[in-house]
Amino acid sequence: MKGAEVIEKLNDFLTGEEIIVGSNGNVSRQIYNFLSQPQVYLRGSMGLPMSIGLGLALAQPEKEILVITGDGNFLMGLSTMTTIGNILPKNLRIMILDNKTYATTGGQETVSESLDYLKLLEGFGIKHYGSLNVIESPTMLEKAFEILLTSDQTAVLHIVVDEDIEKLENIPWHPVEIKEKFLNR
């Protein structure tokens, strides 16, 4: 199962009230295409989805914030995870779509293969975390979504997915337009 299919499936589990922050490249394009609009689609700004998710979680404590990030983006933004682990905002959920590559830019390998995500998350001080290989266990995905989305504390779900090679069209909105549409939603 590919990351795009995970995002498409997620639609059935969302209330529509969540604020979704998508990492740049394919992930934001998939969120734009498969989930309700508008959301916070990052463009170019690699490594920042967790920072922006943390800011939104603190600024809008009454809202549920869901960050969906590729592994390359997550690895680039690791330092923010130390702050997230320290603050542990109750309304923040992070889903890592780990295809072990920078798929958007041609499939170069990330360091995911040698990294123990569960130990890393534990080390950050995250209490509610899990990992699922949907390539091996696709039927577990629905349960994993439920656990992630109904958690009463900061929760992180690491999902190992197949690499997406097919590319979606770029999001046709300039980042300023994305911001304006999001503020007016």
What torsion, rounded to 10 degrees, do the Cα atoms 22, 7, 157, 1 define?
Answer: -130
Q: Which is nearer to ligand TPP, 7 or 57 (CB)?
A: 7
Cis peptide preceding 38, ω within 30 of 0: yes
Residue 185 CA to residue 34 CA, distance in Å, equals: 18
* Residue 30 binding: pick among Mg ion, ligand TPP, none (C-beta 5-8 Å cut-off by kind): none
∠ CA(93), CA(98), CA(103), 5° rounding?
Answer: 125
Closest approach of ligand TPP to the CB of residue 76, in Å: 7
Instruction: Specify the residue, 68 or 121, whose C-beta has the smaller distance to ligand TPP.
Output: 68
Choice between 18 and 71, CB closer to Mg ion? 71
Of residues 61 and 107, the one with the C-beta less far from Mg ion? 107
Question: Could you give the string, one character per residue 18-47, with x where binding to Mg ion holds by CB under 5 A and - elsewhere?
Answer: ------------------------------
How far, in Å, are 56, 111, 177 from residue 62 at the CA level?
10, 36, 24
How would you classify the pairing of strands 101-102 and 108-109?
antiparallel
Task: Please identify which residue in 24, 30, 91, 99 interacts with Mg ion, judged by CB under 5 A.
Answer: 99
CA distance 93 to 121: 13
Residue 178: Cβ within 10 Å count: 20
Residues that bind ligand TPP (CB under 6 A): 3, 23-27, 44, 46, 70-73, 99, 101-105, 110
Chain residue at closest Cβ approach to ligand TPP: 70
Q: How far is the CB of 145 from ligand TPP (least distance, A)?
A: 19
Interface with Mg ion (CB under 5 A): 70-72, 99
